[in-house]
Amino acid sequence: MTRKELDVFKKQVLNEKVLLLQGISTKMKGSPKTGDHEGEDVCDIASSDRDRDLTLRLSERGRDKLKQIEEALERIEDGSFGTCDQCEAKIPKGRLKVMPFSTTCVACKSKQEKYRKLYEGASDYALARDLDTDISKEEE
């Protein structure tokens, strides 16, 4: 990937970071404070607690996305951006335009989803994948 292309992706990722941080800041400013329940009835308190829990969950998702953004920026700087973590193939630019945080190519992501669906409820997807690989080797 050329430096110019990387700069375009970097700008896109940085724009997403700004939007995310603005969104988190807005949500946190509007979230109800714990303990501010004086004069409220039980239903109001429950509603406030539910709203606060929702805000915290949303901010957790925001932290996860922020981590993905930071990792994408690191990959842009170290030159590994656009390379699949699993098979080291180039991730198509179209995929990166839509999902600039992608760390896997479509084929590897499809495999991950297949394993996730096959072994949903299993605590260790990597173990399940290794078991599947071992079984495949035995069948050869």
Helices then strands, counting H and E runs in the chain, come out as: 5, 0
Residue 29's pLDDT is 60
Q: Which residues contact 107 (CB under 8 A, 6 or more apart)?
A: 87, 89
Residue 139's pLDDT is 47
| pLDDT less than 50: residues of the chain | 37, 134-140
Residue 135's pLDDT is 47
Residue 119's pLDDT is 72
| CA nearest neighbour of 10 among 85, 140, 100 | 100
